[in-house]
Amino acid sequence: MFGEKAIELIRELHRASDGQLPAFNEDGIRQVLEEMKALYEQNQADVNEAKSGHSELISTIKFRHCSLLRNRRCIVAYLYDRLLRIRALRWEYGSVLPNAVRFHMSAEEMEWFNQYKKSLATYMRSIGGGEGLDLTQDIKPPKSLYIEVRCLKDYGEFEIDDGTIILLKKNSQHFLPRWKCEQLIRQGILEHVLS
Amino acid sequence: MFLSDFRKEFYEVVLNQRVLLLVASDVDALCACKILQALFQCDHVQYTLVPVSGWQELETAFLEHKDQFQYFVLINCGANIDLLEVLQPEEDIIFFVCDTHRPINIVNVYNETQIKLLVKQDNDLEIPAYDDIFRDEEDSGNESDESEPSGKRQRFEEEVVERTMKRRQRREWEARRQEILFDYEQYEYHGTSCAMMMFELAWIMSKDLNDMLWWAIVGLTDQWVQDKITQMKYVTDIGALQRHVSRHNHRNGDEENSLSIDCMRIAFEYDLCLALYQHWSLYESLCNTCYTSASLKLWSVQGQKKLQEFFADMGLPLKQVKQKFHSMDISLKENLREMIEESANKFGMKDLRVQTFSIHFGFKNKFLASDVVYAASSLMENTEKDESGTDNFIKALDSLSRSNLDKLHQGLELAKKQLCAIQRTVASCICTNLVISQGPFLYCYLMEGTPDVKLFSRPISLCLLSKYLLRSFIYSTKNKRCKLLPMVMAAPLDIEQGTVIMVGIPPQTESSDKKNFFGRAFEKAAENTNSRTLHNYFDMSIIELKMEDRSKFLDALISLLS
Amino acid sequence: MAEEQEGSDAGSEEVLLTPAQLIRSLEQAWMNEKFAPELLESKSEVVECVVEQLEHMEENLKRAKGGDLKVSIHRMEVERIRYVLSSYLRCRLRKIEKFFPHVLEKEKTRAEGDPSILSPEEFAFAKEYMANTETHFRNVALKHMPPNLQKVDLLKAVTKPNLDSFVFLRVKERQENILVEPETDEQREYVIDLDEDSQHLIRYKTIAPLVASGAVQLI
């Protein structure tokens, strides 16, 4: 049945829950494009035939055209949904993506990601006319100025403002200003301790 | 130096600074730490918390952080050695030491600038006078500078006499100093709980909360469970805490707006000292609590029979008693305490009830202070998974918060296993006569391959085992002299490295003052025999020893103490 | 609130707002943006003034001596305002990314005097986003497709904001004779009056112009 491969692509994304990015299905895309090429060529041939009198082919042509449109729609949906997931990664992980994720991205998606990063950075720097504002911080409303965090992995030295350095060793606990910890909490180095 | 005004001389000093907290690995330290953390969080004092389990970790942590912090707070460690000598800090670094270990090292007592002791000056401190220990080195150098030609010979003779007098005085002074120091440092013991000291700090700042009071109670109870303080001190401290409990938890009977059931309340209890009994079955608890199992001699057949008689005497059917405590018939649970006390008296157990406190929040959650102590310390010394010491420390610290009930329950289960393991080991040691008298002390060695021996490679568990074993031994032996002896116990620590862990505990008598001389004795014995020992634990009476050196070490110890 | 700042200027040259009023208008813009289904008018001056205000407050805080309770409270205030501002701008960015073809189209077909829904920087961002995405589609798939299928109309492909979604609002200025369109065939259009301080649940499309004019506040 036409469009089967295309629907497979969609299903694959649907199965990957929670915004996870599965590996780029280059094979799948290629197969759909091939199917489209085949359909198109068949249609080309039939159109010529129909023009010379075989009007019973018109429904077949129409049918193939619908399949072509459907295939295209699936492909574009697949690509677009992946872009949305990749965009979410910028907001969650920061500008450096973890390796596991990068392996699942195609070269073009990487390019899109880099462009997006740049656009976003330019925009954020332009806010307010001064130094700009980092919109990837302050994701949650601030409850308190300082929070207690626990170090989950050995990280080494970490500099907070005015030059003071903190040594982050596994299982040490620290009471620090909230905004300094946000980045490390998102990276999984620190864990917010609620007691 | 001792601080008299904790608020002005400690808290307000660190208020706008960053502080490093070095916390020892026992429940009292954890509780003190929780209280201090709560205070610091309230006032936005930035701190870093590093758990330390011995002198090596303390030193390492200090070296790693000494460039970033100026103020260090040591909780339940550091008082009994010369900190400045060991750590060699820069001159501007200040240590605040809140520690129960006694005697406090004499240098720590008299240093005015860098060592600040957050310690209650109990009247049993007996600090030697300054002049007996320290002496200005004024008249050692200027012996022969003057050269007066006239009357030289006369002067010379006088000088010689003077000099010899001074030298003799000096020698006498030094001898006396040695003696004083020896007496002072001979016996190790423990002072007022750190958690209680921190609570007092919170109280004088009017920042004390019910939660902090509970932690102070748990800290004190830890000292009692580990047999670190005398009965009298325990009762006195309970009295002091009772006043705070009344103040925080006082509710008029006829007040309309009583507290919601979810709020936390602390209540005074004169409850049974049966370990974990409300979270276990009465039967199991009786079998696994040292006091009852030793008194009834449960390792023997007659002991088991006596146990049945005990229950029969109280009219409690075995089926009921072996059920989970919560499922026991309510009619049986009424007046349970008085009933058990009465029967226990008949069976020679006069001290089955003890003054303590319990905490309530919500409908299901009620815990005695001792429950929390057992849970937290078993979490801290958990050998089940291969987790590092600091992982366990964090778990134990978390279990003290009311929002981490799952960890507390996990601790309770672990504690039950641990208590059962202790009882089994005690029973087997008694039955196989593993406890032998070496003359001045009793000795017991757990061989590798003994079941649960891994559990006893940890200091607190091993100490608990030794205390239980000693108590049971006292009940089991007929030898009157042996009943008054202290005990040394050893267990394998690391098979690969060939080390054992050894603890020494004082004799158990009615009027014991809990003072322990094994710390110094171990040091001396190791010195005399060149044994390879590691005095890493904050308690001097717990050491690590190479397996091969065991016998010569013991021989030295025996001759030292005879 | 930031009323006790000594010597703080209003910031903007045209409109003289006290800091308190400035923050209030930021919060109103934020709530409107959060609850409106479409991208609303761009409030660049408010954003600029708030950023300036924040810088001013930060400087004051740096000069103040630590440990004072007031310092903690003011710092908390700075954090809160920064959060509201970030949230507001993030909300707008998300809508721009979500409806990018429509947003750009609306901007392109905007009449001369109408206010812009995009700030110049947002406009640049939106254009880059669109170009980036189009390039991506083209390079990965479209250029390998049959010639008559290589052009995708993004206006049709990307969802439009649902202007029929319902929103809660509070009326700030009394409105009369608002025409409510019927939802089903059985109903007919009717007219309602909106009294001051009353709260309503109504379709966004009906009151969209009132949001823009500030006559109602979305909640």
Read off the pLDDT of residues B33-52 as tens digits, 9 standing for 90 and up: 999 999 999 888 999 999 99
* Other beta carbons less than 10 A from residue C4's beta carbon: 10
Please report, for residues B18, C104, C105, C109, C116, the alpha-carbon distance to residue C112 in angstroms, rounded to integers and kept in the order given: 59, 15, 15, 9, 10
SS in 3 state form for A85-116? HHHHHHHHHCCCCCHHHHCCCCHHHHHHHHHH
Neighboring chain C residues of B44 at a CB cutoff of 8 Å: 72
C154 with C166, same domain: the answer is no
The total number of residues written for chain C in this structure: 219
Amino acid at A71: N
- Cis before B440 (ω within 30): no
**Torsion angle of the four alpha carbons A86, A91, A95, A97, in this order, in degrees rounded to the nearest 10:** -50
Most A CBs within 10 A among B41, B42, B401, hence the mutation to make, goes to B41
Please report, for residues C31, C68, C74, C84, the alpha-carbon distance to residue A145 in angstroms, rounded to integers and kept in the order given: 24, 14, 11, 16
Return the CATH number at C93.
Answer: 1.20.58.1030
| A192, two tokens | 């917010």
C124 with C216, same domain: the answer is no
Residue A69 has pLDDT above 60, yes or no: yes
> What's residue B148's pLDDT?
47
Distance from the Cα of B48 to chain C's closest Cα (Å) equals: 19
- Highest averaged pLDDT of the listed ranges A38-42, A187-191, C70-74: A38-42
> What's residue C8's pLDDT?
42
Question: Residue B467's closest CA among B501, B520, B436, B507?
Answer: B507
> What's residue B13's pLDDT?
92
Q: Which residues contact B175 (CB under 8 A, 6 or more apart)?
A: none
CA within 13 Å, CB half, B301: 0
B interface with C, Cβ–Cβ below 8 Å? 15-16, 44
> What's residue A118's pLDDT?
92
Question: Residue C27's closest CA among C97, C96, C77?
Answer: C77
Continuous segment of H or E residues that includes residue A149: strand A146-151
C26 with C107, same domain: the answer is yes
Residue C70 has pLDDT above 90, yes or no: no
Residue C37, beta-bridge partner list: none
C187 with C150, same domain: the answer is no
C146 with C202, same domain: the answer is no
Give the lowest-confidence range in A59-63, A131-135, B141-145, C123-127.
B141-145
Does residue A123 sit at the C interface (CB-CB below 8 Å)?
Answer: yes
Report the distance separating Cα B359 and Cα B217, nearest Å. Answer: 10
> What's residue B459's pLDDT?
92
Report the distance separating Cα B79 and Cα B108, nearest Å. Answer: 7
- Furthest CA-CA distance within chain A: 85
Question: Residue B516's closest CA among B183, B189, B73, B279?
Answer: B189
C16 with C27, same domain: the answer is yes
Do the beta carbons of residue B453 and residue B446 sit within 8 Å?
A: yes
Return the CATH number at C191.
Answer: 3.40.5.60
> What's residue B140's pLDDT?
45
Distance from the Cα of B78 to chain C's closest Cα (Å) equals: 30
Radius of gyration of chain A (CA): 25
Contact C141 A75 (CB under 8 A): yes
Question: Residue B296's closest CA among B349, B247, B250?
Answer: B349
Residue B253: which pLDDT band, with cuts at 50, 70 and 90? low
State the residue for tokens 């649902």: C162
> What's residue C30's pLDDT?
93
Q: Which residues contact B502 (CB under 8 A, 6 or more apart)?
A: B488, B489, B490, B522, B542, B543, B544, B545
Amino acid at B263: C
Q: Which residues of B92-124 are buried (b: 16+ CB within 10 A; e: fewer)?
A: eebbbbbbbbbbbbbebbebeebbbbbbeeeee
Taking each helix axis from N to C terminus, what angle separates C69-98 and C100-108, rounded to the nearest 10 degrees? 80
Report the distance separating Cα A64 and Cα A53, nearest Å. Answer: 19
Residue B534 has pLDDT above 80, yes or no: yes
> What's residue B151's pLDDT?
60
Neighboring chain C residues of A87 at a CB cutoff of 8 Å: 97
Nearest to A171 among B64, B65, B391 (CB): B391
| Strand arrangement of the beta sheet that strand B265-272 belongs to | B265-272, B353-361, B365-368
C19 with C89, same domain: the answer is yes
Please report, for residues A155, A158, A159, B397, the alpha-carbon distance to residue A168 in angstroms, rounded to integers and kept in the order given: 5, 7, 10, 19
Report the distance separating Cα B467 and Cα C147, nearest Å. Answer: 89
Q: Read off the pLDDT of residues B19-32 as tens digits, 9 standing for 90 and up.
A: 999 999 999 999 99
Nearest to A119 among C83, C87, C125 (CB): C125
Burial of B171 (0-12, 13-18, 19+ CB in 10 A): exposed
Total of domains in chain C = 2
Collapsing DSSP states into helix, strand and coil, what is residue B501?
A: strand
Give the lowest-confidence range in B113-122, B131-140, B207-216.
B131-140
Residue A195 has pLDDT above 80, yes or no: no
Q: Read off the pLDDT of residues C78-94 as tens digits, 9 standing for 90 and up.
A: 989 999 999 999 999 99
Neighboring chain A residues of C87 at a CB cutoff of 8 Å: 138
Residue B511: which pLDDT band, with cuts at 50, 70 and 90? confident
Taking each helix axis from N to C terminus, what angle separates A58-93 and A4-15, rounded to the nearest 10 degrees? 20
Q: Read off the pLDDT of residues C156-212 as tens digits, 9 standing for 90 and up.
A: 888 888 888 898 988 888 877 777 777 777 777 777 777 888 888 888 888 888 888
C214 with C132, same domain: the answer is no
Give the lowest-confidence range in A128-142, B225-239, C17-31.
A128-142
Q: Are strands B487-494 and B436-437 parallel, antiparallel or unpaired?
A: unpaired
Q: Which residues contact B269 (CB under 8 A, 6 or more apart)?
A: B355, B356, B357, B358, B368
* Other beta carbons less than 10 A from residue B542's beta carbon: 22
CB pairs under 8 A between A and C: 108
Q: Which residue of A has its CA nearest to B62?
A: A167
Q: Which residue of A has its CA nearest to C133?
A: A112
Q: Which residues of B311-332 are buried (b: 16+ CB within 10 A; e: fewer)?
A: beebebeeebbeeebeebeeeb
Q: Read off the pLDDT of residues A71-103 as tens digits, 9 standing for 90 and up.
A: 889 999 999 999 999 998 888 887 888 888 888
Do the beta carbons of residue B325 and residue B281 sit within 8 Å?
A: yes
Residue B147: which pLDDT band, with cuts at 50, 70 and 90? very low
Distance from the Cα of C58 to chain A's closest Cα (Å) equals: 14
C60 with C134, same domain: the answer is yes
**Distance of alpha carbon C44 from its chain centroid, rounded?**
10
The strand ranges marked E within B433-555 are 436-437, 442-445, 487-494, 499-505, 533-534, 542-546
> What's residue C68's pLDDT?
67
CB pairs under 8 A between B and C: 4
Q: Which of C118, C145, C161 is where one domain is finished?
A: C161
**Distance of alpha carbon B457 from its chain centroid, rounded?**
17
Helices (H), chain C: 19-35, 44-63, 69-98, 100-108, 120-140, 154-157, 204-213
How high is the mean pLDDT of chain A? 85
Q: Summarize the confidence of residues B219-225 as an average pLDDT.
A: 95
Continuous segment of H or E residues that includes residue B354: strand B353-361
Does residue A7 sit at the C interface (CB-CB below 8 Å)?
Answer: no
C-alpha triplet B98, B357, B36: angle, nearest 5°: 30
Give the lowest-confidence range in A45-59, B261-275, C17-31.
A45-59
Nearest to B47 among A175, A177, A194 (CB): A175
Q: Which of C161, C186, C203 is where one domain is finished?
A: C161
Here the contacts of B300-308 (C-beta below 8 Å, separation 24 or greater) are B300/B431, B300/B476, B306/B347
| Strand arrangement of the beta sheet that strand C216-218 belongs to | C199-203, C166-171, C216-218
**Percent over 70 (pLDDT), chain B:** 95
Name the residue range of residue C88's domain. 2-161
C39 with C147, same domain: the answer is yes
Amino acid at B28: D
Q: Are strands A190-192 and B365-368 parallel, antiparallel or unpaired?
A: unpaired
> What's residue A99's pLDDT?
84
> What's residue C178's pLDDT?
78
Do the beta carbons of residue B102 and residue B121 sit within 8 Å?
A: no
Report the distance separating Cα C219 and Cα C169, nearest Å. Answer: 5
SS in 3 state form for C73-88? HHHHHHHHHHHHHHHH
174-193 in chain A: CB under 8 A from chain B: 174-177
Distance from the Cα of A19 to chain B's closest Cα (Å) equals: 30
Report the distance separating Cα B164 and Cα B159, nearest Å. Answer: 9
Nearest to A33 among C86, C97, C145 (CB): C145
Residue A174, beta-bridge partner list: A149, B48
Does residue B68 sit at the A interface (CB-CB below 8 Å)?
Answer: yes
Amino acid at C8: S
> What's residue B386's pLDDT?
72
Q: Which of C161, C180, C206 is where one domain is finished?
A: C161
Does residue A135 sit at the C interface (CB-CB below 8 Å)?
Answer: yes
C66 with C133, same domain: the answer is yes
* Other beta carbons less than 10 A from residue A49's beta carbon: 14
How high is the mean pLDDT of chain B? 88
Burial of B527 (0-12, 13-18, 19+ CB in 10 A): exposed
Collapsing DSSP states into helix, strand and coil, what is residue B228?
A: coil
Residue B130: which pLDDT band, with cuts at 50, 70 and 90? confident
Q: Which residues contact B538 (CB under 8 A, 6 or more apart)?
A: B24, B54, B55, B76, B77, B78, B80, B101
- Highest averaged pLDDT of the listed ranges B152-166, B190-204, B345-359: B190-204
Residue B158: which pLDDT band, with cuts at 50, 70 and 90? confident
C196 with C113, same domain: the answer is no
Give the lowest-confidence range in A85-94, A145-154, B128-137, B458-467.
B128-137
Give the lowest-confidence range in A90-94, B99-103, B245-249, C201-205.
A90-94
Report the distance separating Cα B188 and Cα B15, nearest Å. Answer: 34
Contact A171 B51 (CB under 8 A): yes
Distance from the Cα of C190 to chain A's closest Cα (Å) equals: 41
> What's residue B141's pLDDT?
43
Q: Summarize the confidence of residues C5-32 as an average pLDDT.
A: 71
